[in-house]
Structure 1
Amino acid sequence: MLQLLSVNYDDRIPNWRTQSEVLSYHVLVLVTDGKVKYTINGQEIIAERGDFLYIPQSTLRSGDTIPGFPHQKYTVLIMTEPGSKLGIPFLDRGEFIRFRLSNLHYLQRRFIKLFEEMRGGRSFRSYIGLGLTQELIGLLARELEKPEVTPAKMFYAQLVKQYLLDHYREHVEIEQLGKLIHRSPNYTTALFKEVFGQAPIRYMHQLRLHEACRLLLHSDMTVADIAQYLGYYDPSYFFRMFKKHVGLSPSEFISSGRTEDLPQLFP
């Protein structure tokens, strides 16, 4: 049986430190920015943005800030019955894990959702929090099952990703991305999905819609202006895309004013 104890968010806390102790619970850690140092059973570990750590019960653990590298991270504390098997390999093995996530953004949003749920005083939060924790653990276990990506594949996938980050407001076709890495369109799509868990054009739309959310809340641009700015020259198409993937219309999104309460984009 799984029990959720607490969910914490450390946001660049000056001189953050946790004392050396033998844990009586399991800890899930997601580092979302900066670097943080842990000492696990006497071994020094430096965790960076995108790293997931599983620190099992009975581990001798301490943690410390790295000067000049303020960090942000989520920590989830859980308990399991001694000797119980949950069918989750990394929990059942009970060994320390440090793993670089390929789909950081999506998993970060799930940590945020769990944190927000447990922070408030909403009814039934313990039940909902436990369900979100189980979902999160399942997603992490699935990530850990993925075969290791070769350095060459990671290099080409990163080239495509950076191109999309630089040009997501422009008209981009998969043929262009294939030419960028001198590979076929089908190979390029498969490669990107293997590394980042989604097709490159889908990722491009994700970038556009996240920017649309920011602009809707923090600018005076109209919906039509935002659509054109982001490369959607048909405002009705932008409206449909936004409604489909965010779950709200642009006007409903503006009225909500709270990104943490929204459904995850591109689940």
Structure 2
Amino acid sequence: MDYNVFILVVKGKVNYSIYGEQIIAEKGDLVFIPSGTLRGAKNHESGEHQKYTVAFKLDETVNYSNPFPIEKKFHKIKTRTPEYVKHRFERLFVDSRGDKKFRSYICAGILQELLGMFARELESPTVTPSKVKYTSIIENYLLENYRENIEIEQLAKLINRSQSYTISIFKELMGQSPIRYIHQLRIIEACNLLLNTDMTIVAISDYLGYYDPSYFSRMFKKLTAMSPKEFAMYGHQVEVNALFS
């Protein structure tokens, strides 16, 4: 059976042949190849490459509530948020080999998020390289430090720009403010901990830097429409990442 293929190149370059046309994808490129495409791939002459590849199919007999967001033809773009996208592909890779009882829900949610981000970047206007650079710097910092207490002033200093400009460019490229992004990273991790560990809600709250369990619970419910206790009981029945789309 033929599959749609979704790829993130994380190192080097790769040569693709799409209906005989030669196309080069390099580090940071997202590639979508729809099912039925006459295709081939090989290492670029510059050396070996590394990539994450997801193969998936759609059940054409199902009447989806939302149409597939990407036109079914070959697409290649340079993602504006490479570290976050890499982080989500890595999570998809790990969870695809996780507990069989839950992995179909979790993996479907991550893939839906990635395809939605890809579609949004396809439709959005060209963004200046400086905005991409600044957003990447902020994004990398947040991914590494989201459990810490972070102020907008700190992020503005990272790129030597004003606080208002920092918030503006991050929201333009990421679709949300830096503070909401921090909370989203924390709550996604909280979902994972609630489903896959024996940590208490209080311990998870403290681990993620909230320290006040009641505030953690309010923020969790704000982002997921469920309390941490409810999610611990019923979270395996939902697509976790779809909660944050």
Partner Cα separation in structure 2 for residue 99 and residue 74 of structure 1 = 16
CA, structure 1 residues 49+155, in 2 after alignment: closer, same or farther (shift >3 Å)?
closer
Once residues 228 and 150 of structure 2 are traced to their aligned partners in structure 1, the CA distance between those partners, rounded to angstroms, is 24
Aligned to 1:74: 54
2:170 corresponds in structure 1 to 192
SS at match of 1:45: strand
Given candidates 81, 86, 100, the residue that maps to 2:78 is: 100
- Give 2:219's aligned residue: 241
Matched-pair identity in %: 43
CA distance in 2, matches of 1:217, 1:138: 24
Matched, 1:144 2:128: no
Partners in 2 of 1:73 and 1:235 — Cα distance? 38
1:31 correspondence with 2:31:
no
| TM-score (normalised: structure 1) | 0.61
Residue 230 of structure 1 corresponds to: 208
User: CA, structure 1 residues 188+101, in 2 after alignment: closer, same or farther (shift >3 Å)?
Assistant: same
Quick check: 1:178 aligned with 2:172?
A: no
Question: Larger radius of gyration, structure 1 or 2?
Answer: 1
User: By percentage of residues, which structure has more strand?
Assistant: 1
Asked if 2 retains the 8 angstrom alpha-carbon contact of 1:246 and 1:263, the reply is no
Aligned residues: 211
Letter in 2 for 1:242: F
Instruction: Compare the two structures and name the one with the higher helix fraction.
Output: 2
CA deviations 1:228-265 (Å, max 9, x no partner) are 22111221111111122123222222223538633624
8 Å contact kept, 1:157–1:195: yes
Structure 1 residue 205, shift from structure 2 partner: 0.7
Letter in 2 for 1:174: I
Return the offset for 1:156. Answer: 1.4
Output the CA distance in 2 between the equivalents of 1:233 and 1:137.
Answer: 34
Alignment partners' CA distance in 2, 1:55 and 1:181: 38
Unaligned runs of 5+ in 1: 9-26, 79-87, 117-128
Q: Deviations over 1:33-68 (max 9, x none)?
A: 7576531224143365660325597x6422458997
* Distance in 2 (alpha carbons) for counterparts of 1:50 and 1:260: 30
Q: Helix, strand or coil for the counterpart of 2:244?
A: coil
Kept after mapping to 1: 8 A contact 2:9/2:30: no
TM-score (norm 2): 0.66
From 175, 184, 189, the counterpart of 1:206: 184
Residue 167 in structure 1 maps to residue 145 in structure 2: yes
Structure-2 change in CA distance of 1:32 and 1:257 (3 Å): farther
Root-mean-square deviation (CA), in Å?
4.1
CA drift of 1:207 comes to: 1.1
Kindly tell me: are residues 239 and 185 of structure 1, through their superposed partners in 2, closer, same or farther at Cα, counting changes over 3 Å?
same
CA distance in 2 between counterparts of 1:215 and 1:137 reads 25
The one-letter amino acid of 2:30's match is D
**Conserved 8 A contact 1:42-1:60:** no
> How far, CA to CA, are the matches of 1:70 and 1:140 in structure 2?
20
Is the Cα–Cα contact under 8 Å of residues 7 and 53 in structure 2 kept in the other structure? yes
